[in-house]
Amino acid sequence: MERYIDIPKVWLLAALILAWLQKTFVGFGLSFGPVWADLVGGLLVGGGLVLMALAAYELRRHRTTVMPHETASALVTSGIYSRSRNPIYVADSLILTGMILFWDAVLSLPLVPIFVWVMETRFIIPEENRLRRNFRADYARYEKQTRRWL
């Protein structure tokens, strides 16, 4: 049961709920300003969704898992994975940042680095360790050529 609850999307949802609660109940009248935050927030959320779709497509194309706690059956280094080793986590971070901007949840901005840290320690490092064990030399080359985030 825990492996289905302890997934990045649940953490993203929790961070979004916290940001929304902060904006709704503890806003203190703070704002990012007029229209620009809505525009940038929308662009970040849209970009995150596109990035997530590209990454999921690439994983499905190679018939490997999207679930972070499962062992990958293939090392995906093509498509969006040639630019970032973790495009889905980048997408999650973009969505969180975009929604914080869109909602004017100024005090929730510290959630973004906290979310990135949780993703890295809870999911990325264990995933990379599994990939390192299963795909040894191929992963070592990929790790040198492609950045973890951007």
- DSSP notation for 42-53: HHHHHHHHHHHH
Q: Residue 2's pLDDT band (boundaries 50, 70, 90)?
A: low
With 90 as the cut, is the pLDDT of residue 5 above it? no
With 70 as the cut, is the pLDDT of residue 83 above it? yes
Q: What pLDDT is recorded for position 1?
A: 59
Distance CA 113, CA 131 (A): 25
Q: Residue 145's pLDDT band (boundaries 50, 70, 90)?
A: very high
Q: What pLDDT is recorded for position 86?
A: 97
- Average pLDDT over every residue of 111-140: 96
pTM (2 decimals)? 0.94
Q: What pLDDT is recorded for position 69?
A: 85
Give how far the C-alpha of residue 106 lies from the chain's centroid of Cα atoms, to the nearest Å. Answer: 20
**Quick one: which of 11, 47, 16, 8 has its CA closest to 127?**
8
Q: Give residue-wise pLDDT tens across range 16-67.
A: 999 999 999 999 888 988 789 999 999 999 999 999 999 999 999 999 999 8
**Quick one: which of 128, 150, 147 has its CA closest to 48?**
150
